[in-house]
């Protein structure tokens, strides 16, 4: 099965108006200059930049996504943003269950599942993040932890068109430490085998599974080339258009 890779940038809580818009324009220019590139490209700026970045990227072929959404459509939830609101300002995707949300905001699998369901209801693609901590890996619990998170975070109706999985080992996020190709392929293949049970063989075969965790120009080629790695969710290296693009160019 050949799956079209997705290269997604997670800007996290970085960027003020001028540099955020400049970064978006830089990515758009690179995308336009390489129209034949065989991957989808997405950037997920902080909430304050979403509308400006969506405008800057209009017509460029680069998609825009949120970094989180609330599970409800509207209501008394101060400081939160609904998936419907993200859709309304031009987003096509939203990241849910990033390990930083799970850690900083105590998000459980059930919360992540509800957010992913809200994303689907709003017509967004949910990028559902899962991944083990270093302690869990050292305890030999990597596959079990990812299995539990996957099962608990995927809502009813998840399919390859509305869901992308991001495997992000927590110990590799922002640490400069990357999973080896063997470690990444082992977990990605395992996730796909679990997806067969959850969404059926056809959808599991089509569903994209991204790797995230210190992906950068120097290590992207070998990770993206792996049989069950269908692109990357990139944090630090997505903050420079040159680096982000050097990663994207590995998609044949």
Q: Is 231 in the site for ligand PEP (CB under 6 A)?
A: no
Q: Is 174 in the site for ligand PEP (CB under 6 A)?
A: yes
Which of the ranges 56-64, 139-147, 199-207, 208-216 carries the binding residues for ligand PEP, by CB under 6 A? 208-216
Distance CA 132, CA 149 (A): 9
Distance CA 231, CA 40 (A): 9
Among 234, 247, 248, 251, contact with ligand PEP (rule: CB under 6 A): 234
CB of 12 to ligand PEP, least distance (A): 6
Q: Which of 100, 107, 132, 168 is catalytic?
A: 168
Q: Is 134 in the site for ligand PEP (CB under 6 A)?
A: no
Q: Is 169 in the site for ligand PEP (CB under 6 A)?
A: no
Which of the ranges 109-117, 133-141, 191-199, 229-237 carries the binding residues for ligand PEP, by CB under 6 A? 229-237
| DSSP assignment string, 10-36 | E--S---HHHHHHHHHHHHHHHHHTTT
Sign of the alpha-carbon dihedral angle for 100, 105, 107, 111: negative
Among 119, 165, 187, 215, contact with ligand PEP (rule: CB under 6 A): 215
Closest CA to 195 of 221, 222, 224, 228: 228
In angstroms, the Cα distances linking 57 to 19, 25, 53 are 14, 7, 6
Q: Is 173 in the site for ligand PEP (CB under 6 A)?
A: yes
CB of 49 to ligand PEP, least distance (A): 16
Residues of this chain, 97-126, that bind ligand PEP according to CB under 6 A: none
Kindly give, in sequence order, each residue whose CB lies less than 8 Å from that of residue 75, ignoring residues fewer than 6 positions away: none
Among 235, 244, 245, 250, contact with ligand PEP (rule: CB under 6 A): 235
Q: Is 187 in the site for ligand PEP (CB under 6 A)?
A: no
Distance CA 208, CA 6 (A): 8
Active site annotation includes 144: no
Q: Which of 70, 98, 120, 188 is catalytic?
A: 98
Distance CA 43, CA 16 (A): 15
User: Where does 173-227 show beta strands of DSSP type E?
Assistant: 209-212
In angstroms, the Cα distances linking 223 to 33, 91, 132, 170, 236 are 24, 27, 18, 17, 17
Active site annotation includes 201: no
Note the residues at the interface with ligand PEP (CB under 6 A). 10, 12, 168, 173-174, 212-215, 233-237
Active-site residue list: 98, 168
């Amino acid at each position: 099965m050949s799956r079209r890779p997705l290269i997604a940038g997670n800007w996290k809580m970085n960027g003020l108006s001028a540099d955020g818009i400049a970064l978006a324009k830089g990515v758009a220019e690179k995308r336009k200059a390489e129209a034949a590139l065989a991957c989808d490209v997405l950037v997920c700026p902080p909430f304050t930049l979403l509308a400006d970045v969506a405008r800057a990227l209009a017509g460029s072929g680069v998609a825009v996504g949120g970094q989180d959404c609330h599970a409800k459509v509207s209501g008394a939830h101060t400081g939160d943003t609904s998936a419907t609101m993200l859709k309304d300002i031009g987003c096509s995707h939203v990241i849910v269950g990033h390990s930083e949300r799970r850690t900083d905001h105590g998000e459980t699998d059930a919360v992540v599942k509800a957010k992913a369901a809200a994303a689907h209801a709003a017509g967004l693609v949910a990028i559902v993040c899962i991944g083990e901590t270093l302690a869990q890996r050292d305890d030999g619990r990597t596959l079990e932890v990812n299995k539990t998170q996957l099962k608990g975070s995927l809502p009813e109706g998840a399919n390859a068109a509305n869901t992308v999985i991001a495997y992000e080992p927590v110990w590799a996020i922002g640490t400069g430490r990357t999973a080896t190709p063997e470690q990444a392929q082992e977990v990605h293949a395992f996730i796909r085998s679990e997806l067969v049970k959850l969404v059926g063989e056809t959808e599991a075969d089509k569903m994209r599974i991204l790797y995230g965790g210190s992906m950068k120009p120097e290590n992207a080629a070998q990770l993206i080339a792996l049989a069950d790695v269908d692109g990357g969710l990139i944090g630090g290296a997505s903050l420079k258009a040159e680096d982000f693009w050097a990663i994207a160019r590995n998609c044949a």
